[in-house]
Chains A and B, each alone.
Chain A
């Protein structure tokens, strides 16, 4: 009644009203945060449903670990949020260099041990340097492009940007991890596009990527299972039955889910052993089978909301650096979601790219939380 908003005492209510409206802590994008946590919680349940029958000892083993990863990731995110994103500009070079060194180390280790390596075994969990490279390469590329305060990217700077992405991409390809390399390339394309690269520059990247993939095939850099997976999509009859089989079963799982799905823990294909490593590679099939079109739409809808919010932050950013950061995050989430879901419904070849926030995996979860933290940081500090 009489107490209107204006008559509220300055020192009551939420937070310190005395602080400036531009105080970063008052400008968290709560929608983005809520969506992100909703996806993560859904992810833990999906991981449980897709892994519980696979390990006889403890059905909660993977889900429990995923919850622990989520907690670690949350801490990492809040750390990233709490620093001004300008902070990364000066440290980008160092972090980027560190990533390259680690990637190279992994490659050398792989040669020494004579087997393919995509991760370091750190006792309780595996550390995938390619995931770290996603974060650091974005920092480096955005910082580099933001140095030029013009609306158009010069050809020289474009080439420089290309090299920044090229170095880690090549190191990741030879691991071999084509999936992560494609994420790096998609990120570069997004950032360069927003930075004002001409259409022909973008075309050049596309050409380069395609020829790299082809070269990888010819040079047998791609390991057998990856080439088999791609061949499986092109020519199902000639492909290795195993790869074909898991993709086909993933598609079957989704399809048989129908409109409403078979219900929580009721999916025969999710419960069976028909889709190897489902909790990491095909969680979307578990969603589709158990919760149908409705469930799939909800999950994709949440990701779309997240993308819209990040896109909005790119708009609101006070400077180019923030915009580039958000453009990179946007592109990576978009591409990785698309690739994972598309392979599950058999319109893309099978790569090991996880579905952001849903798939099992510590490195992936932590990096995406960090990336979202970066976007939050841009949002929080949009008012100078």
Chain B
């Protein structure tokens, strides 16, 4: 009985099941037999059209919220690929369109053939058309099948050419980068960052495409919207660059280079020939400086932020948005000269020398060698050495020296008063830095090697400051630099940069050269600034930071033209305001102070008296430097160039503020412009006078439209007033 009831109830359940399956089964049968043809017809006539929706590229702001890079919406005319594949159709469409958009038929054909456009987007035949033309084309919809008006975006740089090297520029996706960008959801038509922040922050700035899918009928008319995925706009990026300082740095650099071009280097007379002959007899008495290029770095040494980063020759990044033909572009940015030879690298424009420059640092390098000596215990702050004007290596046997097999004697730089190497007498670390005694540092170069079993101790110490490694700045192509060692020499030997016998090992002589910043040592001005910042903050190697913040899209404009309203901005990620300490260098406080005192004396004196009074290398230049200005410590450097010709001397200078409330480091490097104290130091001095509020800077203004008839990469921009360059004896050859 009981089992029967249960069976009956289970029967009900089965019945329900049967009902449900019958219902579904019947419907299936109906759909797949009776309805089949009708549904097939529906599918055949229903077509979808998907239109990608462009994300708006993120903007770039300076530290004050000035809009450095913005977007303009522009209209373009595009044609569906489907229409173009048939050559008759194509010819007809191009013929009809040509007059409307003022583009010759041949150019449209060339675009069709070029294979640089995405097959998923309509092929653009004309960009930046005016609204009236767009409307006229849209109204002739019937005559122009497959022709669409597209909304595109164009980059604008409201303050160009200021900071063009930093902001960078955009360009087409190239054959090399095609796979990368396509793999990341880009369309081939897109322009992407090619240089500067535009390149390094591409991922943040770009955003993501959206799309809208329409169902269209046979005449391509939209029946309904099926699906819409809105685009995600790119994040806005704020730089640490302050455009006021940036503009001043660029002006001060350019002005000084042009001043130096009017100066001459003196062909020295040979003291060994009784001053009767020139050292370089094939050259005249005076050779003008070329002073073709240079760079300036301004860093906050407490948080590592880069406040200005100038490089000359500079350019206007709006050229890259000006749709230049190939000819005009090559005229403005030549890659070959009139004879078809590659241009002189001195003249190259699209290089940010502040981070890409590969330079000998000359004597600006000496504080780091002093650190190495103090840190390894090679010498203490009280140790003295008698500088006799030259240094003779102790570790090499007499015979070898006499045979001329090994160079054993290294001379100090020439004193202008005597025409012979300067003799500084008894010097300690402080004084050696102040007067830039080469002999003192030659000795460190030798002893640090010979007293440490020829281990690369100096190299290890120098690397601590970041030399020879990626500075970690968020900009592309930053130079790692080189710290010479056996490995580097072998590599250079393989490449044929140095001779085979030279490449066979790392010798004491190499170390002696490194100790004064010559030889195979190379670094960028940015690395120089980071090194001086480390001395300034007594041991913290700060990562050079150029990104101040990244904001979510939609930061509104401010009421002040050219500014964004950052009070309304939402951060995309938490910025590191305190900066990133790469490493901390432990050194006794008194040792840091010893170096600091030496560098302070470079600026303020006093020098040292041996045979006569030797002023410090910056003493004369900074003689009138006001007390109210930011107190400084710094060091000059002169890097010898090709052939050791004086006119090939490159000028370096780095200095930092001794006032922690104004924690700035400035480095400058002027190629082939003379002694450090002549060319680079005045630029740094001007920079600090400006930051002290003593020199008035030109206000930063929104720029006028780009003059497209011009043929120069950037219009000259110079300081209106040049007195900040002057020292005590202007144009007097101060000794190195």
Indicate if A33 sits at the interface (CB-CB under 8 A). no
Q: Residue on B with the closest CB to A249?
A: B43
The reply to whether A255 and B36 form a contact with Cβ atoms under 8 Å apart is yes
The reply to whether A194 and B35 form a contact with Cβ atoms under 8 Å apart is no
A86 shortest CB reach to chain B, Å: 19
Indicate if B590 sits at the interface (CB-CB under 8 A). no
Indicate if B16 sits at the interface (CB-CB under 8 A). yes
Q: A327 contacts which chain B residues (CB < 8 A)?
A: 10, 13
Q: B227 contacts which chain A residues (CB < 8 A)?
A: 241-242, 245, 276
Q: A304 contacts which chain B residues (CB < 8 A)?
A: 21
Contact with B along A129-167 (1 / 0, CB 8 A): 000000000000000000000010000000000000000
Contact with A along B17-30 (1 / 0, CB 8 A): 10011011101110
Pair count A-B, CB < 8 A? 105
The reply to whether B28 and A345 form a contact with Cβ atoms under 8 Å apart is yes
Q: B48 contacts which chain A residues (CB < 8 A)?
A: 274
- Secondary structure of the A side of the interface? helix
Contact with B along A268-290 (1 / 0, CB 8 A): 11000010100000000000100
Indicate if A36 sits at the interface (CB-CB under 8 A). no
B229 shortest CB reach to chain A, Å: 10
Kindly state the separation between the CA atoms of A339 and B349 in the bound complex, as whole angstroms: 69
Q: Residue on B with the closest CB to A192?
A: B9
Indicate if B14 sits at the interface (CB-CB under 8 A). yes
The reply to whether A254 and B31 form a contact with Cβ atoms under 8 Å apart is yes
The reply to whether A242 and B226 form a contact with Cβ atoms under 8 Å apart is yes
Scan residues 137-166 of chain B and give those whose CB is less than 8 A from a CB of chain A: none
Q: Residue on B with the closest CB to A345?
A: B27
The segment from A21-29, A112-120, A173-181, A292-300 that touches chain B is A292-300
Contact with A along B214-237 (1 / 0, CB 8 A): 010000000011110000000000
Q: A190 contacts which chain B residues (CB < 8 A)?
A: 13
The reply to whether A151 and B2 form a contact with Cβ atoms under 8 Å apart is yes
In this complex, the interface size class of chain A, counting residues with CB under 8 Å from chain B, is: 35 or more
The reply to whether A241 and B226 form a contact with Cβ atoms under 8 Å apart is yes
A196 shortest CB reach to chain B, Å: 7
Q: A288 contacts which chain B residues (CB < 8 A)?
A: 28, 31-32
Kindly state the separation between the CA atoms of A195 and B6 in the bound complex, as whole angstroms: 8
The reply to whether A315 and B32 form a contact with Cβ atoms under 8 Å apart is no
Q: B10 contacts which chain A residues (CB < 8 A)?
A: 194, 311, 314-315, 323, 327
Partner of B39, one of A252, A259, A315, A342: A252
Kindly state the separation between the CA atoms of A315 and B6 in the bound complex, as whole angstroms: 8
Indicate if A80 sits at the interface (CB-CB under 8 A). no
The reply to whether B23 and A194 form a contact with Cβ atoms under 8 Å apart is no
With A196-B5, A256-B40 known to touch, is A334 a contact of B24 (CB < 8 Å)?
no
Scan residues 387-402 of chain B and give those whose CB is less than 8 A from a CB of chain A: none
Partner of B13, one of A274, A311, A342: A311
B336 shortest CB reach to chain A, Å: 42
Scan residues 225-278 of chain A and give those whose CB is less than 8 A from a CB of chain B: 241-242, 245, 251-252, 254-259, 268-269, 274, 276
Among B10, B27, B29, B227, residue most surrounded by chain A Cβ atoms (within 10 Å) = B10
Indicate if B322 sits at the interface (CB-CB under 8 A). no
Q: B5 contacts which chain A residues (CB < 8 A)?
A: 151, 196
The reply to whether B36 and A256 form a contact with Cβ atoms under 8 Å apart is yes
Q: A347 contacts which chain B residues (CB < 8 A)?
A: 23-24, 27
Kindly state the separation between the CA atoms of A292 and B36 in the bound complex, as whole angstroms: 10
A89 shortest CB reach to chain B, Å: 19
Indicate if A125 sits at the interface (CB-CB under 8 A). no
Q: Residue on B with the closest CB to A152?
A: B5
Kindly state the separation between the CA atoms of A195 and B20 in the bound complex, as whole angstroms: 21
Contact with A along B451-476 (1 / 0, CB 8 A): 00000000000000000000000000
Kindly state the separation between the CA atoms of A196 and B2 in the bound complex, as whole angstroms: 11
Kindly state the separation between the CA atoms of A242 and B31 in the bound complex, as whole angstroms: 22
Partner of B32, one of A245, A292, A300, A330: A292
Q: Residue on B with the closest CB to A341?
A: B24
Kindly state the separation between the CA atoms of A314 and B35 in the bound complex, as whole angstroms: 39
Indicate if B33 sits at the interface (CB-CB under 8 A). yes
Indicate if B42 sits at the interface (CB-CB under 8 A). yes
Q: Residue on B with the closest CB to A303?
A: B21
B691 shortest CB reach to chain A, Å: 47
Q: A323 contacts which chain B residues (CB < 8 A)?
A: 6, 10
Partner of A193, one of B2, B9, B20, B33: B9
B295 shortest CB reach to chain A, Å: 43
The reply to whether A296 and B9 form a contact with Cβ atoms under 8 Å apart is no
Kindly state the separation between the CA atoms of A307 and B10 in the bound complex, as whole angstroms: 12
Indicate if B7 sits at the interface (CB-CB under 8 A). yes
Partner of B20, one of A255, A256, A334: A334
Indicate if A338 sits at the interface (CB-CB under 8 A). yes
Q: A296 contacts which chain B residues (CB < 8 A)?
A: 28, 32
Indicate if B12 sits at the interface (CB-CB under 8 A). yes
Indicate if A331 sits at the interface (CB-CB under 8 A). yes
Q: A315 contacts which chain B residues (CB < 8 A)?
A: 6-7, 10
Q: A334 contacts which chain B residues (CB < 8 A)?
A: 16-17, 20
Q: B21 contacts which chain A residues (CB < 8 A)?
A: 300, 304, 338
Listed A/B pairs (22) with beta-carbon separation below 8 Å? A193-B9, A194-B9, A196-B5, A241-B225, A242-B226, A251-B31, A251-B39, A254-B28, A254-B31, A255-B35, A256-B43, A288-B28, A288-B32, A292-B32, A293-B28, A293-B29, A296-B32, A315-B10, A334-B16, A338-B23, A342-B23, A342-B27
**Pairs A-B, 4 closest by C-beta atoms:** A255-B39, A293-B32, A255-B31, A338-B20
